[in-house]
Amino acid sequence: MSSRAQYMPLDFQRVSPEEQQTRSQQFRQQMSTRRTVRMFSPEPVPYVLIENAVATAATAPSGANQQPWTFVVVSSPDVKRQIRQAAEAEERESYEHRMSAEWLDALAHLGTDWHKPHLEDAPYLIVVFRQAYGLERDADGTEKKIKHYYSEESVGIAVGMLLCSLHLAGLATLTHTPSPMAFLTEILKRPSNERPYVLIPVGYPAPDATVPVITKKPLESVLVRVE
């Protein structure tokens, strides 16, 4: 153990076996009802739900505990409009020219296209940035780059926790990755070490929202037991 490590007692509450099963079953059931939603109501959402979700995501494990993430929460109609316009321009180009026939075919059952009205309809957009490296200033003011480890995996885990929190709070989400996403860095004026990771509209579904008919793989095909 490195001499720089400092340890303290773990705060860990044991839960009875019955309670363990109840909680795990309940979480499984609740998460099984999550759907990716593309039709949002403009109805406002209590900000505390967004804040709690980001605070939860920020507890995620990360490489060397570097916490290589920034969550930008957008509710400004003007900024949402800029994001929609830029996303639609990129997505239109992608759907019409950049995506292969194979890719378009893989997506066909979702019924998506380049129109992204949800980027303005949803009351909040959470734009998650991955810090490819850290930026610190020396005592003399010069900028220093700090290497980050496993930033892709770390941000992915944090986003998973964010989605769980928002779902359990009774909100709908969409994991949207317009490609390329550099416009988000510009519009949101993020520093040079941050890369857009995912754009998440959050809100209540539109009253008449529909979702594609899809199924999840059966457990037997994704769970392999080695005893």
Choosing from 20, 30, 179, 192, the residue that interacts with ligand IYR (CB under 6 A) is 179
- Binding flag, residue 177, ligand IYR (CB under 6 A): yes
For residues 199 and 205, what is the distance between their CA atoms, to the nearest angstrom? Answer: 17
- Binding flag, residue 112, ligand IYR (CB under 6 A): yes
Is 28 buried (19+), middle (13-18) or exposed (0-12) by CB count in 10 A?
Answer: exposed
Choosing from 110, 135, 146, 182, the residue that interacts with ligand IYR (CB under 6 A) is 110
Tokens 């070490």, residue located: 193
Is 45 buried (19+), middle (13-18) or exposed (0-12) by CB count in 10 A?
Answer: buried
Minimum CB separation from ligand IYR for residue 102, in Å?
A: 12
Q: Which two tokens stand for residue 180?
A: 């390329």
Q: Which lies closer to ligand IYR via its Cβ, residue 37 or residue 193? A: 37
- Binding flag, residue 21, ligand IYR (CB under 6 A): no
Choosing from 15, 64, 89, 107, the residue that interacts with ligand IYR (CB under 6 A) is 107
In terms of residues, how long is the chain?
Answer: 227
Choosing from 127, 129, 155, 178, the residue that interacts with ligand IYR (CB under 6 A) is 178
| Whether 18 contacts 181, CB under 8 Å | no
DSSP 176: B
Minimum CB separation from ligand IYR for residue 61, in Å?
A: 26
Minimum CB separation from ligand IYR for residue 8, in Å?
A: 43
For residues 94 and 104, what is the distance between their CA atoms, to the nearest angstrom? Answer: 10
Please identify, among the stretches 15-23, 46-54, 65-73, 172-180, the one whose residues bind ligand IYR according to the rule CB under 6 A: 172-180
Give the interface with ligand IYR as residue ranges (CB under 6 A): 91, 107, 110, 112, 176-179
